[in-house]
Structure 1
Amino acid sequence: MIIPALDIINGNAVRLYQGNYQAQSNYGDPVNILQKYIQQGATIIHLVDLSGAKNPKNKQTSLINKLIQKTKKSDSKVKIQIGGGIRSALDIKNLLKSGANRIILGSIAITHPKETKKWFTYFDPDILVLALDVYIDFNKNKKIAIHGWQKKTDIQLEQVIQEYNLVGLKHVLCTDILRDGALLGSNINLYKSICQIWPNIFFQASGGTIQL
């Protein structure tokens, strides 16, 4: 399945190069792009509030709600998964109430794992997507980055997946940051390895995709 992504900063659709906020391409009004995705047959659309991911105080709540409503009005069957700046159970409830189908949990899953794991019990795990953005170093260690890719950690990808697998994890969105926006092709070996280890989890591959 192909899931088109729409990353938004300050009201504009953008593409970052390797997660660098200073190296972004601007594509204008996200509403127009959203409509094109729907017209081209998208069944799931991936929305990311990068302003909110970098700083939750800058969440683009009204725009995100507008995009969700536009999607549902155009085609009620199209599903929306959304992330960026989600820091509480209330954030999740509000997004679900506005019409989102799946909620992406990124930085909060790393900085506050105890609280985040509770949400997998409180909510249906099928509506939660764990977003794990990784930098792969020279020793092939897959280290997690947080806060809109601005902060690197020493936490390993496999460690996080295993911990959340124990509380019912069903969906993981894994991004190879060094390939994201670089048009270098997807990191096939990365996704093969994690799919083999956790065949019970649905993995979404992100970063570098340039062709079918």
Structure 2
Amino acid sequence: MILYPAIDLKDGAAVRLIHGEMDSATVFNGDPAAQAQSFVDAGCQWLHLVDLNGAFAGTPVNAAPVEAILKQCKVPTQLGGGIRDMATIARWLDLGLSRVILGTVAVEDPDLVREAARAFPGQVAVGLDARNGRVATRGWAQETDVMVTDLARSFEDAGIAAIIYTDILRDGAMKGPNVAATAALAKAVSIPVIASGGVASLDDLIALRDTGVIAGAISGRALYDGALDLAAALRTLAA
């Protein structure tokens, strides 16, 4: 199982939110590229970036820090937030991003997801963010009646690289991930599923890994707070 250190970008800084609320942002590092490099130095295989402003604006906002990270850090990197058209997808991939994450458009324009996955094989993931099993869009501000599993299954034949499943009520709360719901989703589809939201300890990572069906896990606040030691976690997952 791959561990993805998370860097959430708001107003050019690396922050963490609680339950996706923008006014709950805690700034952890004013230099996101330096933060990313520290994760790389600890041995991470991937980086996970989110343009929080972009998720609300519907277009990239934190391009400068993302580009700085891509230039400095030589590990595969995935990005979500404000990516809602083919031109933006192509631009990010041209700049060296390994994978784009499409969230809001997966609900509002699923044909775009399919088009992108055909055009850029292996480089398009779908971000499914949910409260109580229902998908939320536009920076988690809008809740839909779409069920996570139903939407995930609709992309089975699309050729997407992964599904990033976030339980919004666990995100940034340090209360542990929703292991059961994430494992159920992973069992319901053949697409690799990456868990996001609530990973607060090494035990959480082990619980996700030991399901045997979850391909990856994203952690943010626990790494910044020191509750999770990245190098030790990577060693454990590699054992």
- Do the structures match in fold with TM over 0.5? yes
1:134-165 per-residue CA deviation (whole Å, 9 max, x = no partner) reads: 001xxxxx100111111111111011111111
Report the AA paired with residue 204 of structure 1: I
Report the AA paired with residue 112 of structure 1: D
Report the AA paired with residue 180 of structure 1: D
Looking at structure 2, the residues matched to 100 and 143 of structure 1 have their Cα atoms a distance apart, in angstroms, of: 29
Q: Does residue 1:176 correspond to 2:167, yes or no? A: yes
> Which runs of at least 4 in structure 1 moved beyond 4 Å after TM superposition?
none
1:23-38 equivalences in 2 (<5 Å): 23-29=24-30, 30-38=32-40
SS of the aligned residue for 1:27 comes to: strand
SS of the aligned residue for 1:51 comes to: helix
Give the deviation of 1:195 after TM superposition. Answer: 1.6
Looking at structure 1, the residues matched to 59 and 91 of structure 2 have their Cα atoms a distance apart, in angstroms, of: 16
Looking at structure 2, the residues matched to 8 and 121 of structure 1 have their Cα atoms a distance apart, in angstroms, of: 29
Looking at structure 2, the residues matched to 134 and 189 of structure 1 have their Cα atoms a distance apart, in angstroms, of: 14
1:128-143 equivalences in 2 (<5 Å): 128-136=124-132, 142-143=133-134
- 1:83 is aligned to 80
Q: What RMSD in Å do the two structures reach over aligned CA positions?
A: 1.3
Identity %: 31
- 2:11 is aligned to 10
Unaligned runs of 5+ in 1: 73-77, 137-141
- 2:200 is aligned to 210
1:18-167 equivalences in 2 (<5 Å): 18-29=19-30, 30-57=32-59, 59-72=61-74, 78-124=75-121, 126-136=122-132, 142-167=133-158
Report the AA paired with residue 82 of structure 1: L
Looking at structure 2, the residues matched to 95 and 68 of structure 1 have their Cα atoms a distance apart, in angstroms, of: 10
Unaligned runs of 5+ in 2: 203-239
| 1:172 to 1:57, Cα distance in 2 relative to 1, 3 A | closer
Looking at structure 1, the residues matched to 154 and 59 of structure 2 have their Cα atoms a distance apart, in angstroms, of: 29
| 1:57 to 1:89, Cα distance in 2 relative to 1, 3 A | closer
Report the AA paired with residue 62 of structure 1: A
- 1:201 is aligned to 191
- 1:75 is aligned to none
Give the deviation of 1:203 after TM superposition. Answer: 0.7
Looking at structure 1, the residues matched to 61 and 43 of structure 2 have their Cα atoms a distance apart, in angstroms, of: 28
| 1:97 to 1:174, Cα distance in 2 relative to 1, 3 A | same
Looking at structure 2, the residues matched to 197 and 56 of structure 1 have their Cα atoms a distance apart, in angstroms, of: 30
Give the deviation of 1:57 after TM superposition. Answer: 4.5
Looking at structure 2, the residues matched to 185 and 25 of structure 1 have their Cα atoms a distance apart, in angstroms, of: 19
Looking at structure 2, the residues matched to 64 and 18 of structure 1 have their Cα atoms a distance apart, in angstroms, of: 23
Contact kept in structure 1, 2:114 and 2:159, CA below 8 Å:
no
Looking at structure 2, the residues matched to 185 and 165 of structure 1 have their Cα atoms a distance apart, in angstroms, of: 28
Looking at structure 2, the residues matched to 114 and 196 of structure 1 have their Cα atoms a distance apart, in angstroms, of: 24
